[in-house]
Structure 1
Amino acid sequence: MTTSTAQLVAALRPLLRAEAAAEASAAGIEAADIEQAVWLRLLERETGPDEPARWVRSAVRTEARIARRRRRREAAYHADGPEPATGHDSSPEGRALAGERHRALRAAVGRLPGRCPELLGAMLSPDDPTYREIAGELGISQGSLGPVRSRCLGCLRRMLRAEVGAPEPWGKEP
């Protein structure tokens, strides 16, 4: 980071924090998520904005609008709820099968290497913790949760594919 970029970041930090907090409280989303997205936008630019304060306000509003749209489209996943693909089956057999799938998933997660069992276990928690809460619990940065989660899910996918041997769509082998 060049000196001028560092000075720009230092100058914009208080404004960005205030704007993100205001938009986040109105939208019901986390201010840190908005801040991170705006910093990323700034770093992606080849040159600094002509009017930094105006640019920050505009970028914060844009990121808050994107987050609100994303929030409307996403539905919370509850581990004890119905399976997304199969729907809700309240019969005793359906509940038994769902329980068995849940136990098998938990057992597979427990066999993963490294910090994957802790991370995926926290994400499967019925308390539905936020990324900030999970990062604090595991002692890792909030920004690294997504990449670590992706690697863990890829490892879980490969492990389950090897155990089950399910073919890919259209009969392709993995």
Structure 2
Amino acid sequence: MQHWSERELLDRLALADNAAARELVGRYERIIVGAAVKHRIRRADLDDLIQSVWLALLAEHRTIRTPEALPGWIRTTAHRLCVRLTRQHRTELCADLAELPLADERPGPEQLAVRADRAHLVRTAFATLPQRCRRLLTLDLSHIGYAEIGGALALAEGSIGPTRRRCLDRLRARLAEHLEDLASP
């Protein structure tokens, strides 16, 4: 393999010199592959990407005024083609998804029964908590601030979080107990 300067490579490329084209590929293909890796281009599209960059260079090589800019030109062209490929695949994916029939999002009878069972289990476990925990968790779910919760329960704002955690731990324990009772014969 010859070692020509970028200027010589571009001049020989203009003359359709195969040896210069092989040297270009050998010297700069890793730039294109690096761009493909960076943009997560699918392996199936890599050869098309490489070919597109070289075709673009063949078409545009006369516009490169500074031969030393050739690696940057290849990098920029590869990047732009990767972005185009990524957008194209995203558009194709969206179009494919748009053609799919919409799933019925309403829950079926089995899902409704499972939800009802879970809700009943949580309500039952919740009812066994001390009143202070029930009030705290209810107020917490109402999305009011810590100041309002603290005022309603006569709690310092700094103790609301730890108290809530203890109440939730109790609720989890009660749920576990109820699940064990259901599982035992």
Give the TM-score, by structure 1 length.
Answer: 0.37
- Which structure is higher in helix share? 2
Bigger Rg over Cα: 2
Greater RCO (CA < 8 Å, at least 6 residues apart): 2
